[in-house]
């Protein structure tokens, strides 16, 4: 882990059963002991903790304010961390797909916004009466 702070998590029953169901869905996994799903859940927590802490550091570096109390972490920050660190290689494919979908969605939203904007009509400049015309009047 990147920091020495320990994360204390109280596991809810449905969280542990979800891990157990995921593990039992695989044919290669046989019978499990009772503590197995707790260990896997704890490993997932540490994995996500590292990912979030690294993403926060990237977000602070990009914002230029390392002492900021609050920093917004976006999908781009997560993607940067996942693509740069070897320990997150197992989720690199998922991250690539998610970022592509998000960029396509943003592009589609931008296109819709541009279609809904009324076209600006350029006003024709008013013709000034020339000196000769004003003298004739």
CATH number of the structural domain spanning residue 42: 1.10.20.10
Distance CA 105, CA 113 (A): 12
132 lies in a domain?
A: no
pLDDT of residue 118: 63
DSSP state of 69: S
pLDDT of residue 36: 80
124 lies in a domain?
A: no
Distance CA 37, CA 25 (A): 13
Structure tokens at 63: 């914002």
130 lies in a domain?
A: no
Confidence band, pLDDT 50/70/90 cuts, at residue 56: confident
99 lies in a domain?
A: yes
In this prediction, residues 70-98 reach a mean pLDDT of: 86
| CB < 8 Å & 24+ apart, contacts of 17-25 | 19/44
Distance CA 106, CA 73 (A): 17
In this prediction, residues 5-33 reach a mean pLDDT of: 69
Distance CA 26, CA 77 (A): 32
19 lies in a domain?
A: yes
The answer to whether residue 9 scores a pLDDT higher than 50 is: yes
Start-to-end CA distance of the chain, whole Å, equals 88
Question: In terms of residue numbers, what domain contains 21?
Answer: 13-115
Residue bearing the bigger pLDDT, 59 or 131: 59
State how many domains the chain has.
Answer: 1
3 lies in a domain?
A: no
121 lies in a domain?
A: no
136 lies in a domain?
A: no
Residue bearing the bigger pLDDT, 120 or 70: 70
């Amino acid at each position: 882990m990147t920091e020495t702070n320990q994360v204390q998590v109280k596991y809810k029953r449905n969280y542990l059963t979800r891990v157990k169901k995921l593990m039992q869905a695989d044919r290669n996994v046989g019978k499990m002991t009772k503590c197995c799903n707790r260990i896997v859940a704890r490993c997932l927590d540490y994995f996500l903790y590292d990912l979030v802490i690294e993403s926060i550091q990237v977000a602070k570096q990009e914002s230029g304010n390392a002492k900021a109390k609050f920093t917004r972490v976006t999908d781009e920050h997560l993607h940067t961390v996942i693509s740069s660190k070897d320990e997150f290689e197992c989720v690199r494919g998922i991250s690539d797909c998610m970022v592509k979908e998000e960029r396509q969605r943003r592009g589609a939203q931008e296109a819709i916004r541009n279609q809904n904007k009324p076209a600006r009509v350029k006003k024709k400049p008013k013709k000034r009466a020339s000196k000769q015309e004003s003298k004739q009047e």
